[in-house]
Amino acid sequence: MITPMEVQVRSSTVLALGDPNTEPREVPLTIFDRFACDIHIAVLYAFTAPTPSNADIVEGLSETLAHFPMLAAQLGHDCGGRPCLMVGGGGGGVLVVEATVSSTLAEHMPLEPSPDLLLLHPRTEDAAHLLLVQLNRFRCGGLVVGLSAHHKVADGQSMSAFLVAWGQAVRGIPIDPLPLYDRSWLKPRVPPRCEFQHWGLDFMPITPRDDEFASHNNLVEPSRITNILLRYSSEFITGKLKAETKAKYTTFETLLAHVWRKITAARGLEGGEETTIRVTVNGRRRLKPPVSDHYFGNLVLNAYPRSTAEMLARGGLEEAAKVVHEAIARTSGDYVQSMVDLGDMYGDEELVPVYGTEGNVLSPLVDAESWLRLRFEDVDFGGGGKLCAFLPTWVALEGLVIFIPVVGEGGGVDVMVSLLREHAEVLKRISHSLH
């Protein structure tokens, strides 16, 4: 950012739910909660003035949390040592920080990835709360909401529903739809059976053999990693990329294939070096019968497109998009059911997701998440101001790629890419090349 961001914290409070004189309710973590990475996911929402007062926004948050109590819970273990959420009982709560920024919002627009964005959030390291909110009021009256939610509680679909509901509460509109907590779909087969290879892909093996799945655990100084935002217009996606693939694949599949090829080139991978994308897939509609979109919690898993650097370079965009499409298609209802059965078979084991065991450099892996079909752009606190920016906050994890809908007219897709600085410079130069 050109203008330095001077943020001053004015107050810090905890919104508590539940009666401290009662015992908390234990809610077991599902296999999909246990699979989610053990970190807070941080996003920023920027609104132009005028916006409601902080007091009205916090009051709406309190009303909303009554319907989303898991976000005010605590992570813990039940009497059998199994991971669970401790809901109510006076513990937990949501941290709400109010801050002011000495500059105007316009001085920082368009918002671009920068370590300065971390100033707009409470610190998440060793955070005592699963949901942390910071209301950043700019000199012009503009507002940036910094929100960090622990991934063990909810996935993107659930968090977007929560944010839309929060906006409804602030505007005095009944929350609709309400979240669903029914877990009747979480039903293992009799007997349960794992038909797919989850060890080494989704979870670390319980007893690794001969370092077969040992993590490469690449670590570098976080300052060597940077985040860049690549913008792809609707015209470029349709007129250039989809023309290359004869419009056989979705926007996400086509653009992911393109970005995969460019990242592979920017990293300098060559020949037979294998590269994999870890693609987040929503499992709700893949199960039979499907799970409601309004289910609150985690119900995502991964697809794993694989290729060699040489094939990506020589095969062109259409071949890469085919690899992506087929891998996502293989993440079927049967695959989701296999994960459900895995949770039943190993419910008492200390399962360790592959996430978080790899250090902060994923290369040659790419970790891709799509936020294109979520409802983040529908968040509206009212007051007359408009959503003018939405993006993930700075993440020093090489190989992370997040697809975000462009805010405003014209459409298109913003792609946040986290890479080593030298590779990011190359990617910026070649990001829109069709070769």
Could you list the pLDDT tens digit for every one of the 435 residues in the chain? 457 789 999 999 999 887 788 888 999 999 999 999 999 999 999 999 999 999 999 999 999 999 999 999 999 988 778 889 999 887 889 999 999 999 999 999 999 999 999 999 999 988 999 999 999 999 999 999 999 999 999 999 999 999 999 999 999 999 999 999 999 999 999 999 999 999 989 999 877 554 544 445 688 999 999 999 999 999 999 999 999 999 899 999 999 999 999 999 999 999 999 999 999 999 999 999 999 999 999 999 999 999 999 999 999 999 999 999 999 999 999 999 999 999 999 988 889 998 878 889 999 999 999 999 888 889 999 999 999 999 999 999 999 999 999 988 788 999 999 999 999 999 999 999 998
User: Known catalytic residue: 151?
Assistant: yes
Catalytic residue among 151, 258, 325, 423: 151
- The answer to whether 274 and 432 are in contact (CB under 8 A) is no
User: Known catalytic residue: 150?
Assistant: no
CATH architecture type of domain 222-373+394-430: 2-Layer Sandwich (3.30)
Query: Could you tell me the two tokens for 57?
Result: 């926004």
CATH class of 7-170: alpha beta
Residue 216 phi, psi dihedral angles, 5° rounding: -75, -20
**Taking the CB of residue 129, how many other CB atoms lie within 10 A of it?**
23
Q: Where are the alpha helices (DSSP H) in 209-281?
A: 234-236, 242-244, 251-266
Range 178-183, long-range pairs (CB < 8 A, 24+ positions): 178/67, 178/294, 179/67, 179/68, 179/294, 179/295, 179/296, 180/292, 180/294, 180/295, 180/296, 181/295, 181/296, 181/297, 182/292, 182/295, 183/30
**Identity of the amino acid at 16:** A
Angle of CA points 54, 74, 290, to nearest 5°: 90
**Taking the CB of residue 417, how many other CB atoms lie within 10 A of it?**
26
Query: Could you tell me the two tokens for 158?
Result: 């659930």
Distance CA 214, CA 207 (A): 11
Catalogue the E-assigned strands of 102-187.
Answer: 131-138, 143-150
- The answer to whether 111 and 44 are in contact (CB under 8 A) is yes
Look-up of token digits 């078979």: 345
How much is the pLDDT for 299? Answer: 98
| Of 358, 71, 420, residue with least CA distance to 227 | 420
| Of 240, 225, 276, 244, residue with least CA distance to 432 | 240
Distance CA 424, CA 225 (A): 9
**Taking the CB of residue 235, how many other CB atoms lie within 10 A of it?**
11
Q: Which residues make Cβ contacts (< 8 Å) with residue 424, sequence separation at least 6?
A: 226, 228, 266, 417
Task: Enumerate the CATH 3.30.559.10 domain ranges in the chain, comma separated.
Answer: 7-170, 222-373+394-430
- The answer to whether 8 and 99 are in contact (CB under 8 A) is yes
Distance CA 140, CA 318 (A): 47
Strands 274-282 and 306-308, bridge-based pairing: antiparallel
How much is the pLDDT for 208? Answer: 58
pTM of the model: 0.94
How much is the pLDDT for 350? Answer: 87
Catalytic residue among 202, 380, 414, 423: 380
